[in-house]
């Protein structure tokens, strides 16, 4: 099964990490017996110097999403004889829970810009970037491109950030050493090494398939992480794996998005908030052996024009249906998808040279890429967007005073002063952290005995731009929960 791999929040198969180390040992032993590799920042005898230099630039991506609980069952209403089971099931009024996922990313600008895969952060309500020293920072989504599975994030921090440079993926050759750093199975910064196994792989992920294949161990959670060459430059973004089983583990066939495509898209997202692609105004289809022979070619190559947009760049340049394009922007077209790849990195408005076959003759023309028709579907509101306006307070948690019935029902001693969690609203960060019926005794280190006191203490923490720390009473020990304010 060929699949993209959204990062897992839990450790799935811890033994896979050991397999990666064992698999790497013979290759390392073989290399140290030969001539040392001479690359800037690379020790030659192992990958330690390179890994030490690059690890601070690779981050973990943590996302959270509020979803309906299984079955979508609401809480039992107040006064119901089954009301006490709300505490057991942790149900809120609208039956929502918080789920999370983990992935990888890397810093491309000391100003705080971070690159990852779109599928790592897709549909998330909140995104955190976790630096190599463990610091967790809320991230803002600058923009995304679903066609090539990329997203650009921005974090603000006083901590100096170390960025990594883009490399030239066109210079990455089969057989060259590469190193991947990421967050497999939520384990945190993990380094694996291998070689480039193949180039220009089409894995049916989209129109711009041109993946670098590597045998460096890539697993779930590595999504969005960088693939480095021995100069410490990013030549690929780890995006997909081939995994024939259900475990999702590495079998030595991973796929990385080439840096030359990625850096063009990311630059556009950074400037415009979205990718800006050009179009030649033509439909191009693959060429099979029989079609190739009818055009006087020995093997299938090029792209066949099967439709033209009236008044588009291709028609204006003189192209016709039935023309077979063999070269585009001075690059040979081996397959029709090469055209999409070249257009994907070309600038809108660029003048492109075209060579094509018509009637047994090789002809040339040039066309100017026009802006692709912008599709601006209405962005669906996230759960957080929908719920933010409905929050009754900045915590999204409704409290009630502890009464005698609560003390008997929940076994709360008379000496305990606090408030009871009556409801958790769906956009609250407390979803999945607090449960209905929890007894909160302190808010931001302030003892509370009424809902007004609890919210006032939370507002004081919010004004200081800090998460709100709640102390929760338990029959044997207290616990602490940190809740972000909306």
Q: Which of 125, 128, 145, 149 is catalytic?
A: 149
**Which CATH architecture fits 278-371?**
Roll (2.30)
| Cβ 238 vs Cβ 180: under 8 Å | yes
Query: What is the topology classification, in CATH, of domain 383-483?
Result: Pdz3 Domain (2.30.42)
Q: Return the pLDDT at 154.
A: 95
Element (H, E) at 285: strand 282-285
Averaged pLDDT in 10-residue chunks for the chain of 486 residues: 37 26 30 47 72 94 72 51 51 57 91 94 88 91 90 91 94 92 84 89 70 88 92 92 68 88 92 85 89 88 91 93 92 85 81 91 92 53 47 86 89 92 82 86 91 90 83 88 82
- In angstroms, the CA 4 to CA 193 distance is 20
- With b for 16 or more beta-carbon neighbours within 10 A and e for fewer, the 87-116 pattern comes to beebbbbbbbbbebbbbbbbbbeeebbbbb
Is the Cβ–Cβ distance between 93 and 75 less than 8 Å? yes
Closest by CA position to 65, among listed 150, 107, 127, 15: 127
**Total Cβ atoms within 10 A of residue 179:** 21
149 is catalytic: yes
pLDDT at 372 (0 to 100): 77
The answer to whether residue 223 is catalytic is yes
Is 450 a residue of the active site?
no
Top CATH class, 1-274: mainly beta
Of 104, 223, 250, 428, the active-site residue reads 223
Q: Residue 463: what pLDDT?
A: 85
Domain boundaries, the chain: 1-274, 278-371, 383-483
pLDDT in tens, 88-144: 454 544 555 666 678 899 999 999 999 999 999 988 888 999 999 889 999 999 999
Q: Is 222 helix (H, G, I), strand (E, B) or coil?
A: coil
Q: Give the pLDDT confidence of 215-258 residue by residue, as tens digits.
A: 888 888 888 999 999 999 999 999 888 766 665 667 778 889 99
Same fold, 278-371 and 383-483: yes
pLDDT value at position 117? 93
According to the model, what pLDDT value does residue 336 have? Answer: 80
Distances (CA, A) of 337 to 168, 369, 451: 20, 17, 62
CA–CA distance, 461 with 464 (Å, rounded to integer): 5
Structure tokens at 66: 């509020």
pLDDT for 151 equals 94
Q: Where are any strands of DSSP class E within 69-219?
A: 96-109, 113-116, 126-130, 136-138, 140-145, 150-154, 177-182, 190-201, 211-214
Place of tokens 């073989």: 30
The active-site residue, picked from 62, 119, 210, 259, is: 119
Q: What is the pLDDT of residue 205?
A: 64
The reply to whether the predicted model has a pTM over 0.85 is no
Q: What does the pLDDT read at residue 125? A: 83
């Amino acid at each position: 099964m060929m699949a993209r791999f959204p990062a897992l929040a839990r450790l799935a198969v811890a033994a896979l990490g050991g397999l990666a180390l064992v698999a790497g040992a013979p290759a390392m032993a073989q290399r140290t017996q030969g001539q040392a590799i001479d690359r800037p920042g690379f020790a030659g005898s192992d990958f330690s110097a390179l890994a030490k230099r690059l690890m601070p630039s690779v981050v973990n991506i943590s996302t959270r999403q509020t979803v309906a609980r299984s079955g979508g069952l609401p809480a039992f209403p107040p006064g119901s004889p089954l009301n006490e089971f709300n505490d057991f099931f942790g149900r809120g009024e609208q039956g929502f829970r918080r789920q999370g996922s983990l992935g990888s990313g890397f810093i491309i600008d000391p100003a705080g810009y971070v690159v990852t895969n779109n599928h790592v952060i897709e549909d998330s309500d909140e995104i955190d970037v976790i630096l190599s020293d463990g610091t967790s920072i809320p991230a803002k989504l600058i923009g995304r491109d679903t066609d090539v599975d990329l997203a650009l994030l921005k974090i603000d921090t006083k901590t100096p950030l170390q960025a990594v440079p883009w490399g030239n993926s066109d210079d990455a050759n089969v057989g060259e050493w590469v190193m991947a750093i990421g967050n497999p199975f939520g384990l945190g910064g993990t380094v694996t090494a291998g070689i480039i196994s193949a180039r220009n792989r089409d894995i049916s992920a989209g129109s711009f398939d041109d993946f670098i294949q590597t045998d460096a161990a890539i697993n779930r959670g590595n999504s969005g992480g960088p693939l480095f060459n021995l100069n410490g430059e990013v030549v690929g973004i780890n995006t997909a794996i081939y995994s024939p089983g259900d475990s999702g583990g590495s079998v030595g066939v991973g796929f990385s998005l080439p840096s030359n495509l990625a850096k063009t898209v990311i630059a556009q997202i950074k400037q415009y908030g979205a990718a800006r692609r050009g179009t030649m105004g033509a439909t191009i289809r693959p060429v099979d052996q029989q079609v190739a022979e009818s055009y006087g070619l020995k093997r299938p190559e090029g792209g066949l024009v099967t439709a033209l947009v009236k008044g588009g760049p291709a028609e204006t340049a003189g192209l016709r249906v039935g023309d077979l394009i063999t070269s585009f922007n001075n690059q040979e077209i081996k397959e029709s998808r090469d055209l999409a790849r070249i257009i994907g990195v070309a600038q809108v408005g660029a003048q492109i040279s075209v060579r094509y076959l018509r009637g047994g003759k090789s002809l040339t023309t040039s066309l100017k890429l026009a802006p692709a028709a912008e599709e601006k579907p209405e962005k669906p509101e996230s759960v957080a967007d929908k719920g933010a306006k409905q929050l009754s307070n900045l915590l999204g948690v409704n409290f009630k005073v502890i009464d005698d019935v609560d003390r008997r029902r929940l076994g709360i001693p008379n000496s305990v002063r606090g408030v009871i969690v009556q409801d958790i609203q769906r956009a609250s960060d407390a979803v999945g952290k607090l449960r209905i019926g929890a007894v909160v005794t302190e808010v931001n280190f302030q003892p509370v005995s009424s809902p007004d006191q609890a919210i006032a203490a939370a507002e004081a923490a919010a004004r200081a731009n800090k998460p709100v720390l709640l102390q929760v009473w338990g029959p044997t020990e207290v616990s602490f929960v940190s809740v972000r304010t909306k």
